[in-house]
Amino acid sequence: MLLAMSREKAQAAWEKIVRTGFTNYNQLSPDQKIWFNIEPLTTEGIIDHYLNHGAEHNQDTLAALKALGFPDIAKQMHSINTLFRDGKPPEDIDERNEEWNSWCDEHEEFLNEIDDKFWIKCADVEKALMDHIDRTGIGID
C-alpha cells in the first residue's frame, strides 16, 4: 500500500530535481522530468509555461500530460504551439517572448479560453502528479 506523499515530505526531493533540471536537464529520469515539467503548470498555468521557463521543454511537457492522462490539455497546448513561427515555441526565452508578443493580442480570447479550461482541470492534474510521485517513489530524497 502506497502512502500519500505530501508536498512537505517531497520538498527536499523537489528542490534536488529543480537544481538538476536547470543545470543538466538530461540527467533527470523520465519520471523526474514529468514532475519537473508539470509542477509549474499546476502553480502558474499554461500561459506562464510559454512566457517564463518551461517551454524550452515543451514537447516533454506535452508527453508528460499524456502520460498522466490529460491528452486533452496536451492538445490544447499543441494548438498554442501552432501559433509560433515553426509550430513550436523557441527554446530561447527572449525569442519566445518576442514571438508571443507579436501575436498574443490577436489571439487573446483563444489563449484565455485555453487557460480557463486548464484551471478547471488543474486540481485533477495536481492529483495525478502527486499519484505519480507516490507510485514512482521520486518524492523520497
Domain boundaries, given as residue ranges, for the chain:
7-136
pLDDT value at position 140?
Answer: 84
The set of cell numbers assigned to 41 is: 503548470
Positive or negative, the CA dihedral 50, 35, 60, 126 is: negative
Provide the residue type at 23 as one letter: T
Supply the pLDDT for residue 4.
57
Angle 99-71-24 from CA coordinates, rounded to 5°: 60
Q: How does DSSP classify residue 55?
A: G
pLDDT of residue 5: 58
Q: What is the per-residue pLDDT for 11?
A: 87
6-23, pLDDT tens digit by residue? 667 788 899 999 999 999
pLDDT, mean of residues 16-35? 96
pLDDT at 6: 67
d(CA 111, CA 90): 18
CA distance 68 to 126: 10
- pLDDT single digits (tens) 41-57: 999 999 999 999 889 99
DSSP tag of 6? P
pLDDT at 85: 95
> What CA–CA distance (Å, rounded) separates 132 from 82?
29
pLDDT tens for 75-124 read 999 999 999 999 999 999 999 999 999 999 999 999 999 999 999 999 99
